[in-house]
Amino acid sequence: MDSEKNADFEYKNLDEKESRLKERLAKIDALEKEIISKEKALKSKENSKKQIVLRLSPSLWNDIAAWAEEDFRSINGQIEYLLSECVRRRKKD
């Protein structure tokens, strides 16, 4: 009789533990989904770029194009790099 009570008690303990673990897992899943959602929002915000019209003299264009080729960048990438560097240096000062 005592062994049956112990077995019932152990099953109840296991059921309670399983229930608590399921609750924890549900919370973890919800947190993971929230984190993924926030990461996606940040990435899309960072990846969105504004387009501008930029007029350059042919000689400046050629100099930037040559420099971009040396750095293995596109001309747009080189211009963006140069602007980013200038802004970063200005913020330092």
Blockwise average pLDDT, block size 10, the chain, 93 residues: 61 83 94 93 80 94 96 94 94 88
Of residues 79, 54, 53, the one with CA closest to residue 65: 79
Q: Are residues 43 and 24 in the same domain?
A: yes
DSSP letter at 71 equals T
Number of domains in the chain: 2
pTM over 0.75: no
Q: Are residues 56 and 88 in the same domain?
A: yes
Of residues 19, 9, 31, 79, the one with CA closest to residue 51: 79
pLDDT the model gives residue 73: 94
Q: Are residues 58 and 41 in the same domain?
A: no
Domain ends where: 12, 27, 48? 48
Residue span of the structural domain in which 19 resides: 1-48
